[in-house]
Chain A
Amino acid sequence: MITNVNVPPMITEKKLVELFHQMWLIRFFDEKVDEFFAKGLIHGTTHLCVGQEASASGAIAVLEERDKITSTHRGHGHCIAKGAETNRMMAELFGRVTGYCRGKGGSMHIADVEKGNLGANGIVGGGIPIAVGSALTSQMKKLGYVTLCFFGDGASNEGSFHEAINMAAIWNLPVVFICENNQYGMSGPVKEMVKVANIADRAAAYGIPGQVVDGNDIFAMMNVTHEAVERARRGEGPTLVEAKTYRWKGHSKSDAKKYRTREEEMDWRSNRDPIERMKRVLISEGMLSEQEAERLEAEAKKEIEDAVKFAEESPMPPIEILEEDVYA
């Protein structure tokens, strides 16, 4: 029984411990990707969400199995939180046939439709109208599911953002827009690219609620998302949630991070680490001991190491599949 921590009703103590473990999975997954990328064993490009674990885990924690998400090019955390297997994810990044997309999609295109993950997206803002369409299906077929739509601060300056939110608003669609404001759209600081103080302020332009939340506080993420999801489920339409967070790594592989200071980075890493913050709460509330916390961290690390092993041992895709699946 949870007493001192304010969490949505479906979040049990067991679930909190699982979420703590899940955040470590996300962190280790992306740190491992970073390492193998540097070694040249993962090719293409990757966009890591280290430091943003709480917004993915917290928002998705309040969903039901039937609910759906759309993700972004910085989407490994969303995938893991929606139940993707780390083995198949890592195999995809290694370009192996055992990966989620048989090696055809890579980091930016992981989808797990059966689990309600409608896919990551390599186009900034590209998934926002798709989430609206998914919500439209739910409304038209009376399926009762809600779609969580993740995107970044950069996407909030795309036309697709404005068009899609307006459409969802006028039709009262069951969709929750979650802007993970990690402060930079590639190298563009949000302060230079957006005139309003908060991206959530833009909700007023569409006649829907806008909520700013500390994206590094998993409890706040759960509560705000839960409220928005419930609202959507009641048929009251969309909400725009802005999670203020920070990506510890650069935009992608080529990023020298000239646009920000080492001090700024260290501040977020040392003082606002979402995993550390959750750990402190769980320990102080007696839900977790230091030893258990260490064990969960070690377990997550092991799972990701196993995922790398699985990926490395998996076969490359046969050339015959090149022309498969262009059409259904």
Chain B
Amino acid sequence: MSTQRELTYLEAVRECMSQEMRVNEDVFIMGEDIGLYGGAFGVTRGMIEEFGNERVRNTPISEAAIAGAAVGAAMTGMRPIVELQFSDFITIATDQIVNQAAKNRYMFGGKGKVPLVLRTPSGSGTGAAAQHSQSLEAWMAHIPGLKVIQPSTGYDAKGLLKAAIDDDNPVIFYEHKLLYRTKGYVPEEPYSLPIGKADIKRQGTDVTIVATAIMVHKALQAAVELEKEGISVEIIDPRTLVPLDIETIIESVKKTGRVVVVHEAVKRGGFGGEIASLIAESEAFDYLDAPIKRLGGKSVPIPYNPVLEKAAIPQERDIIQAVKETVFRR
């Protein structure tokens, strides 16, 4: 057992990349300002000193070319990790991700593979407003051929990033920008967490909260408050949206009989709808004592003003209220 060493989420991501680059010459990173600047959020700080500018490759501001070059490099034997400066910019790289990376193995009849990881900071909370604050994971989760990961802790991020780098498929790896500075236990040695395995972040008996990314932390805080009122909350973090570990969610719902699904992304068309439907289609439906409740962002672009910005996405008090509505129904 390692000592209880603490790292920030950001350091955990960096450590994983560095460790993988040390052992595998095929792994390299590229993106905007990831060299001396260290990336928009400082994730790659110091890496160019160790690995040089060939393997920590500063690119022009050209998202389509970055993503496309990663596809070409991956098809020909490299294992590129792309840092896309803000997940909003996935819109500019979408052809290469959606039409090329995700499709080419299938449409070429099973020939070749595209082992690339696209890491990107998502989510609101920094006052960066509408074009730098979105949560677009449901877009990517909709596309066959992609895998989509959304880790909520540094521990999960390090283990899942290693799994993503080792995976022979294109993986979109969403890092919530407000989680970068959060600290937690992260083992020093390399380790891999399975892609497609949910994590039970808290055990409980009265209600299941399925939460992703930063909402895991808000749900954990809400659970502490709810416990004071005698409500026992179980929190499931899917961690990976594609593939999704629906079994763990179903088992939990069968145990608690009540479920609240919460994510930061806009509720309409959001991934919460998928989770709710899968629960409703499963045997857990017969165990439900209340309708499935969904919480998500309002259907507005993320506003600049901090009060409005907070109001656009679910907060701890919204989760508490939703749980109470669910638990005290009838």
Residues of A within 8 A of B (CB): 68, 70, 99-105, 109-113, 118-119, 121-123, 126, 128-138, 140-141, 147, 159-160, 163-164, 166-167, 170, 324-328
The smallest beta-carbon distance between A301 and chain B, in angstroms, is 28
A137 to B30, CA, bound (A): 13
Interface string of B108-135 (1 = CB under 8 A from A): 1111111100000000000000000000
A163, B145: Cβ atoms under 8 Å?
no
B284 within 8 A of A: no
Give the bracket for the number of chain B residues in contact with chain A: 35 or more
Number of A-B contacts (CB under 8 A): 149
A133 to B111, CA, bound (A): 18
The smallest beta-carbon distance between B116 and chain A, in angstroms, is 9
B71 within 8 A of A: yes
Residues B148-172 near A (CB distance < 8 A): 168-169
In the complex formed, the residue of A with least CB distance to B167 is A328
Q: A110-B108, A133-B72 are in contact. List 11 more A-B contacts (CB 8 A).
A: A104-B106, A111-B109, A113-B75, A113-B112, A130-B68, A133-B70, A133-B74, A137-B77, A140-B28, A166-B62, A325-B110
Residues of B within 8 A of A160 (CB): 64-65, 68, 95-96
A119 to B72, CA, bound (A): 11
Residues of B within 8 A of A167 (CB): 59-60, 62, 65-66, 69
A102 to B26, CA, bound (A): 30
A136, B95: Cβ atoms under 8 Å?
no
A141 to B27, CA, bound (A): 11
Interface string of B38-78 (1 = CB under 8 A from A): 00000000000000001100011011111111111111111
A104, B72: Cβ atoms under 8 Å?
no
The 6 closest A-B pairs by CB, nearest first: A133-B72, A129-B68, A101-B109, A325-B110, A163-B65, A163-B62
Residues of A within 8 A of B168 (CB): 328
A327 to B111, CA, bound (A): 11
B97-105, B198-206, B273-281 - the one binding chain A: B97-105
A160 to B111, CA, bound (A): 24
The smallest beta-carbon distance between A292 and chain B, in angstroms, is 37
Residues of B within 8 A of A101 (CB): 107-109, 111
Residues of B within 8 A of A164 (CB): 62, 64-65, 68-69
CB pairs A–B below 8 angstroms (26 shown): A68-B76, A99-B109, A112-B111, A113-B112, A119-B104, A119-B108, A123-B99, A123-B100, A126-B99, A126-B100, A129-B67, A129-B69, A131-B72, A132-B72, A133-B69, A133-B71, A133-B72, A136-B78, A137-B73, A141-B77, A160-B96, A167-B59, A325-B109, A326-B105, A326-B144, A326-B145
A119 to B105, CA, bound (A): 10
B145, A130: Cβ atoms under 8 Å?
no
A254 to B273, CA, bound (A): 40
Cross-chain contact of B104 among A111, A141, A166 (Cβ < 8 A): A111
A325, B62: Cβ atoms under 8 Å?
no
In the complex formed, the residue of B with least CB distance to A132 is B69
B72, A129: Cβ atoms under 8 Å?
yes
The smallest beta-carbon distance between B64 and chain A, in angstroms, is 5
Residues of A within 8 A of B71 (CB): 129-130, 133
A136, B108: Cβ atoms under 8 Å?
no
In the complex formed, the residue of B with least CB distance to A167 is B65
Residues of B within 8 A of A (CB): 26, 28, 54-55, 59-60, 62-78, 80, 95-96, 99-100, 104-115, 144-145, 147, 168-169
Residues of B within 8 A of A68 (CB): 76
Q: Do A126 and B95 contact each other (CB < 8 Å), given the known contacts A134-B72, A328-B168?
A: yes
Q: Is the interface of A mostly helix, strand, loop or mixed?
A: mixed
Residues of A within 8 A of B62 (CB): 163-164, 166-167
A175 to B12, CA, bound (A): 36
A136, B112: Cβ atoms under 8 Å?
no
In the complex formed, the residue of B with least CB distance to A100 is B109
A170 to B77, CA, bound (A): 22
Cross-chain contact of A105 among B60, B100, B108, B169 (Cβ < 8 A): B108
Q: Do A130 and B107 contact each other (CB < 8 Å), given the known contacts A160-B64, A327-B145?
A: no
A141 to B108, CA, bound (A): 25
A129, B76: Cβ atoms under 8 Å?
no
In the complex formed, the residue of A with least CB distance to B147 is A327
Q: Do A118 and B75 contact each other (CB < 8 Å), given the known contacts A123-B100, A325-B105?
A: yes
The smallest beta-carbon distance between B221 and chain A, in angstroms, is 36
A130, B100: Cβ atoms under 8 Å?
yes
Residues of B within 8 A of A129 (CB): 64-69, 71-72, 96
In the complex formed, the residue of A with least CB distance to B113 is A328
Q: Do A328 and B105 contact each other (CB < 8 Å), given the known contacts A134-B76, A140-B54?
A: yes
Which of A104, A112, A133 neighbours the largest number of chain B CB atoms within 10 Å of its CB?
A133
A136, B69: Cβ atoms under 8 Å?
yes
Q: Do A328 and B78 contact each other (CB < 8 Å), given the known contacts A129-B96, A163-B65, A167-B60?
A: no
B75, A134: Cβ atoms under 8 Å?
yes
Residues of A within 8 A of B60 (CB): 163, 166-167, 170
B109, A105: Cβ atoms under 8 Å?
yes
A128 to B75, CA, bound (A): 14
Residues of A within 8 A of B76 (CB): 68, 118, 133-134, 137-138
Residues of B within 8 A of A163 (CB): 60, 62-65
Residues of A within 8 A of B73 (CB): 133-134, 136-137, 140
Residues of A within 8 A of B70 (CB): 133
Which of B77, B108, B111 neighbours the largest number of chain A CB atoms within 10 Å of its CB?
B108
Which of A130, A166, A325 neighbours the largest number of chain B CB atoms within 10 Å of its CB?
A130
Residues of B within 8 A of A130 (CB): 68-69, 71-72, 75, 96, 100
In the complex formed, the residue of A with least CB distance to B80 is A133
